[in-house]
Structures are given as structure tokens and as C-alpha cells.
Amino acid sequence: MNTILQRLVELQQLDLVIRDLVAEIDRLPREVAQIEATLAQHVARVEADKKALADNQLSRRKREGDISAFREKISHFKSQSLQVKTNEQYKALLHEVEYHEQQIRQTEDQILAEMEASESLDARLKEAERSLAVERVEVTKQVAEARARKAEDEKKLLAHRQRREELKTGIEIGQFERYEHVLKVRKGLAVVPIVKGSCCSACHVHMRPHAVSQVLSGEVIVHCESCDRILYFAPEAVPGNVEENAPEDPEAAKLAREQALSEYPTL
Ligand SMILES: [Zn+2]
């Protein structure tokens, strides 16, 4: 394969990796923020439950104080009733006693309801605290992983960008600018392999026989007549992650190219 074409193929693979790295570097801090925001929500919920439980206990203590006060009043009214002189006064005191006894019963019912609420609140809080402890460990792990991944990505990105600069210097400026233009307008894909012997793998338009033979020769830079992408022949080429693609076996590639060329005997 022509050296410039080889550089363009590598450049394309590199640009796909760079695009993914940039997207991941951009995404990771947002993911971390999301994880931390969810944890903060759960912490806030636990804190709200703790406050509700404390409020419940405070309210019960206040009601117990109220009951003591009601009892004191009742005993005061009862001792007064021993000294009253008229029936009306006695009745009035009796009415006060009954009213405060009723208040005690009401308050006791409220305390009972609060005790029941406190039990379920306490159970819920214990469960929330348990799951929060698990979540904290998990979040710490996830955040550390995301940060390490981002640092690793940034290192890779730097190396890939350096390699990109090296490749750029080995490509004629007009060709490089055309590559960059196609890359921009064709959503990041400017160099693609041909498929089915004569099709652009991106826009699927059939090429003319002469262009096919040029692509198969690997010696000329051929652009797709339809989408303007640079075309190349690779036996099993898949544009994608540069690191995931095994290096091309030159012998196998040569054989595949010859086989493909033999399908165009008239050229
Ligand atoms: Zn095309």
C-alpha cells in the first residue's frame, strides 16, 4: 500500500480512537458528579430521617411533660373541691377535672401514635444507614476508577495526538486538508475500506471499474465519487479502534488483493 494511503488509514483509525477518548474524558466527570449527587441525596434522606426521629422523641417528651402538668392541675382542682362552699363551684371544679383527664387521654393516644411512628422510622433509618454505608464504599470505588480511567485516557490522548502530528507531517497539505474536510462533513469517517469488491463501505455506492482497480492496487489515493471519502482495500478491514485491530498481515493482504484483482481480469 502506498505510504501516504497507509498514513491516511492510520490517521483515520487514530481519529476514531481520539474521538472516543475525548467523549469519554468529557463524560467521566459528569458520571462522577451524577454518582456523587445520588449519594448526597441518600445522605440527605438519612439526615432527614434522623431529624424526624429526634423531633418525634422531643415531641413525646413534651407531651409527657404536658401530662404531668395536667395531673398537677387535677390534683390542685381536687384539693380545691374539698374546700368549696357552693354546689356550682364544686361542679365547675369537677368539670375542670374531667376536661384535664380527657386531655391526658388524648395526649396519651398521641404519644402512642408517635411511639408507633418512631418504631417504623427507626427501622427505616437503620436500613437506610446500612445501605448508605454500602453505597459509600461503592461510590468511593467508582469515583476512584473513573478518575484513574480519565487520567489514563488523557495520557493515551496525548500520545495519539503526538502520533497524529507525526502522520500529518508525512501527508501532503492539500490531501490532509481534504481529509480533514471530509472528516468534518462525514461525521468522523473520511477513510473507509471498500466492500463487496466495489462498494464504498460508508455510502454503499458502486465504484467504476477503473477506480476499483486503482483502489485494489493500493498505489493511488482514490476518493468515493459519491461521498468523497478516501477508499482503500483491506481484506477484513474494519475502521474502528486502532488498538483492537490486529496489525495487517502483509502476506495475507497481498494474497487477498491479488484475489480481488483477479476478479477484474479486463483492467
Ligand atoms: Zn462513499
Output the CA 44–ligand 1 centroid distance in Å. Answer: 55
pLDDT of residue 1: 81
- What is the pairing mode between strands 191-195 and 199-200? antiparallel
Cβ distance 230 to 222 under 8 Å?
Answer: yes
Give pLDDT tens digits for 45-74.
999 999 999 999 999 999 999 999 999 999
Cell of 59: 415531641
pLDDT of residue 235: 77
3-state secondary structure the chain: CCHHHHHHHHHHHHHHHHHHHHHHHHHHHHHHHHHHHHHHHHHHHHHHHHHHHHHHHHHHHHHHHHHHHHHHHHHHHHHHHCCCCCHHHHHHHHHHHHHHHHHHHHHHHHHHHHHHHHHHHHHHHHHHHHHHHHHHHHHHHHHHHHHHHHHHHHHHHHHHHHHHHHHHHCCCHHHHHHHHHHHHHCCCCCEEEEECCCEECCCCCECCHHHHHHHHHCCCCEECCCCCCEEECCCCCCCCCCCCCCCCCHHHHHHHHHHHHCCCCCC
- Which one of 1.10.287.1490, 1.20.58.1000, 1.10.30.50, 3.60.120.10 gives the CATH number of domain 173-261? 1.10.287.1490
For CATH 1.10.287.1490, the residue range(s) in the chain are 21-169, 173-261
Output the CA 182–ligand 1 centroid distance in Å. Answer: 11
Give pLDDT tens digits for 183-240.
999 999 999 999 988 999 999 999 999 999 999 999 999 999 999 999 999 876 544 4
Cβ distance 94 to 81 under 8 Å?
Answer: yes
| Residue count of the chain | 267
Distance of alpha carbon 112 from the chain centroid: 45
Please check the confidence at residue 168 and state whether its pLDDT lies above 90: yes
pLDDT of residue 250: 60
- pTM exceeding 0.85: no
Cβ distance 26 to 165 under 8 Å?
Answer: no
Output the CA 48–ligand 1 centroid distance in Å. Answer: 60
Output the CA 194–ligand 1 centroid distance in Å. Answer: 9
Output the CA 210–ligand 1 centroid distance in Å. Answer: 16
Output the CA 16–ligand 1 centroid distance in Å. Answer: 18
Return residues with CB closer than 5 A to ligand 1 (ion).
200, 202-203, 224, 226-227
- Which one of 2.170.120.12, 1.20.58.110, 3.90.226.10, 1.10.287.1490 gives the CATH number of domain 21-169? 1.10.287.1490
* Alpha carbons 110 and 91: distance in angstroms, whole number: 29
Cell of 145: 476508577
Output the CA 77–ligand 1 centroid distance in Å. Answer: 101
Please check the confidence at residue 247 and state whether its pLDDT lies above 90: no
pLDDT of residue 101: 97
CA proximity to 4, closest of 244, 200, 218:
218
Output the CA 70–ligand 1 centroid distance in Å. Answer: 91
Cβ distance 260 to 216 under 8 Å?
Answer: yes
pLDDT of residue 253: 59
pLDDT of residue 240: 44
Please check the confidence at residue 154 and state whether its pLDDT lies above 50: yes
- Report the first-to-last Cα separation within the chain, whole angstroms: 19
pLDDT of residue 257: 57
The larger pLDDT score, comparing residue 259 to residue 209, is at 209
Question: How many CA atoms lie less than 13 Å away from 256 in the CB half-sphere?
Answer: 19
Give pLDDT tens digits for 105-147.
999 999 999 999 999 999 999 999 999 999 999 999 999 999 9
Residue type, 199: C
Output the CA 230–ligand 1 centroid distance in Å. Answer: 8
